[in-house]
Amino acid sequence: MDLQKLTAEVARIAQEAGAFIRKEGASFDTAKIEYKGLNDLVSYVDKGAEERIVKGLSDLLPEAGFVTEEKTINKTGDVYNWIVDPLDGTTNFIHGLPAYSVSIALQQNDELVAGVVYEVNRDECFYAWKDGGAYLNGSRISVSGNTEFSQALLATGFPYYNFELLEKYISVFRELTKVCHGLRRVGSAAVDLAYVACGRFDGYFEYNLNSYDIAAGMVLVREAGGAATSFSGSNDSFSTREILAGNRALRLKMQEVINRYF
């Protein structure tokens, strides 16, 4: 398999879905919001984007299965599976805040081998494939070289329905916010990871995430020279539902802080 060519096709599919999202966002009716759970929003735009992505990816790699947020398809592949979030940042989209994305990753057996994150509003397509590096709109990107909190801008995500670990999270937030340039909450885990990959953010942490939120972004960070792990530093982010990403030195320093509370 030529992963470079495959990733280019995935980027095209993501951008086409993004064009649909952008068009619908111009006249979105908030009365069409649905609730999957507490503060867990969805709309026909999420589902419509996912259907377009699934069709495109099915044509591209017919034998592959899918893990998708909106569950518009039920198919598991023996070797290959696409991990898809058609609209990461739905709450932002619904409220008209300009930070949401299409996220698509390819998993071969248990290994992530390609990832695309398309940020719709800025028309920025981030993509990477195994051993091929990471790119933004055709230009090579890399994680930042900042190794000290005093020079770092960090990102996180606030819990919005599972509050069991809220106090621990607030403790980490309190400690980190005192030593860095600032902590940002964009509202799209895929965008957070893409921004780590290109050096806009020096580090990022969040818990209570799903595989489709982080899979593509993890590929980007790793191929950009960084590390993306669970809070403990292991490679089981999907099962722990945690992500800690950054350049290798700063990620370790963030891990030390987080592990004092988690």
Q: How far apart are CA 228 and CA 242, in angstroms?
A: 10
Of the pLDDT bands very low, low, confident and very high (cuts 50, 70, 90), residue 41 is low
Give the residue range(s) of CATH 3.40.190.80 domains in the chain: 149-258
* pLDDT (0 to 100) of residue 37: 66
- CATH number of the domain located at residue range(s) 149-258 in this protein: 3.40.190.80
Residues 132-137: what's their mean pLDDT? Answer: 98
Residue-wise pLDDT tens digits, 91-117: 999 999 999 999 999 999 999 999 999
Is CATH 1.10.10.10 what the domain over 3-141 is classified as, yes or no?
A: no
Element (H, E) at 105: strand 101-108
Residue-wise pLDDT tens digits, 193-222: 999 999 999 999 999 999 999 999 999 999
Give the residue range(s) of CATH 3.30.540.10 domains in the chain: 3-141
Element (H, E) at 59: helix 44-60
Contact 230, 214 (CB under 8 A): no
* pLDDT (0 to 100) of residue 16: 98
Of the pLDDT bands very low, low, confident and very high (cuts 50, 70, 90), residue 32 is confident
* pLDDT (0 to 100) of residue 27: 86
Letter string b/e over residues 222-241, b meaning 16 or more CB atoms within 10 A of that residue's CB: bbbbbbbbbbeeeeebbebb
Kindly state the DSSP code that residue 184 receives in the 8-state scheme.
E
Residues 214-237: what's their mean pLDDT? Answer: 98
Helices 189-197 and 211-223, axial angle in degrees (round to 10): 0
Residue-wise pLDDT tens digits, 246-256: 999 999 999 99
Q: How far apart are CA 20 and CA 23, in angstroms?
A: 5
- Tokens representing residue 137 in the block: 């709109």
Q: Residue 22 pLDDT > 60, yes or no?
A: yes
179: three-class secondary structure by DSSP = coil
Of the pLDDT bands very low, low, confident and very high (cuts 50, 70, 90), residue 40 is low
* pLDDT (0 to 100) of residue 156: 98
